[in-house]
A and B are shown apart, each in its own frame.
Chain A
C-alpha cells in the first residue's frame, strides 16, 4: 500500500533562509507525487507534482522538488523563503487501493517563517 512520511511536523526558519521539507514515500507501483500548501482556514492548493519525465519539478513561486527513486524521496526546497510562505505543506502520493485512484497524504509540515 502506498504511504507518505513527512518526518518534520514543524520547521521554523528565518526570512530569506533556505528550507527543505522532507517527504518519503512507500510504493510498490508507479509513483505519482504531489506537494500541496494549506494556508490557515483554507483548502489545499497544488504546489507542484511529479507524474513522469524530469525528476526535478518547479512551482511558479520558487519551490522545487526532486523525485529520487533510489531514496524514495520527494523533498521540497526553496533557496530563500518569505514571510508569506508560512503555511502547512502536505506531501501526497496517488494510491490505487480500493479500486480507484485517490490521494494519500502525509501528516503535514508546518513551515513558520520568522522575520
Chain B
C-alpha cells in the first residue's frame, strides 16, 4: 500500500512563473490537507479538501494560490506568478476520515519549491 505520493520532489521556478504541486493520497483516503513549511518554522496549514470540495481554505493566501482535488486524479496546489517568498517545502497529508476519528494523517515527503 503506497504512501502519500508527492511530485515533483524538487521544483525550481523563476519569479512570475506558475508552480503546480501534485499529491496522490493513500488508497482509500478521501481527505487531503496541504501544509507549508518555511525555513526554521513548523508546518502551517493551508487548505483541507475532500473529493471535489474545498472544506477549509482559511490558511491559503488570498491571491495567487489555489487548490483542487478532482474526482479523478491527484490533488493539485497551484501557485501563480510565484515570488521569492513562496520558496518553501509544501507537504500534503491524507486520511480516510477527519482528524477526530482516531485515524492519523499520513504525510508525503514534500515538494521543495525554490524561486530564483
Closest chain A residue to B109, Cβ basis:
A43
In the bound assembly, the distance between CA atoms of A94 and B102 in angstroms comes to 12
Would you call A105 and B56 a contact (CB within 8 A)?
A: no
**Given known contacts A43-B107, A100-B48, A102-B33, A108 and B42 CB-to-CB distance under 8 angstroms:** yes
B: which residues have CB within 8 A of A? 4, 6, 33, 35, 40-45, 48, 55-56, 58-59, 91, 93, 98-100, 102, 104-105, 107-110
In the bound assembly, the distance between CA atoms of A105 and B41 in angstroms comes to 9
In the bound assembly, the distance between CA atoms of A45 and B3 in angstroms comes to 11
Q: In A1-36, which residues have CB < 8 Å from any B CB?
A: 4, 6, 9, 32, 34, 36
**Given known contacts A97-B58, A100-B56, A46 and B105 CB-to-CB distance under 8 angstroms:** yes
Instruction: State the interface size on chain A (CB cutoff 8 A).
Output: 30
Closest 8 CB pairs of A and B: A98-B58, A43-B107, A105-B42, A100-B56, A101-B99, A44-B107, A102-B45, A105-B43
Would you call B100 and A43 a contact (CB within 8 A)?
A: no
Q: Which of B6, B55, B56, B99 contacts A103 (CB 8 A)?
A: B99
Would you call A101 and B58 a contact (CB within 8 A)?
A: no
Q: In A90-112, which residues have CB < 8 Å from any B CB?
A: 90, 92, 94-95, 97-108
A84 at the interface (CB under 8 A from B): no
Q: Which of B6, B91, B99 contacts A44 (CB 8 A)?
A: B91
In the bound assembly, the distance between CA atoms of A44 and B42 in angstroms comes to 11
Would you call B99 and A102 a contact (CB within 8 A)?
A: yes
In the bound assembly, the distance between CA atoms of A51 and B35 in angstroms comes to 22
Would you call A45 and B107 a contact (CB within 8 A)?
A: yes
Q: Which of A41, A45, A99, A103 contacts B43 (CB 8 A)?
A: A103
Q: Which of B40, B48, B55, B105 contacts A107 (CB 8 A)?
A: B40
Name the residue in B45, B48, B110 with the highest tally of chain A Cβ atoms < 10 Å from its Cβ: B45
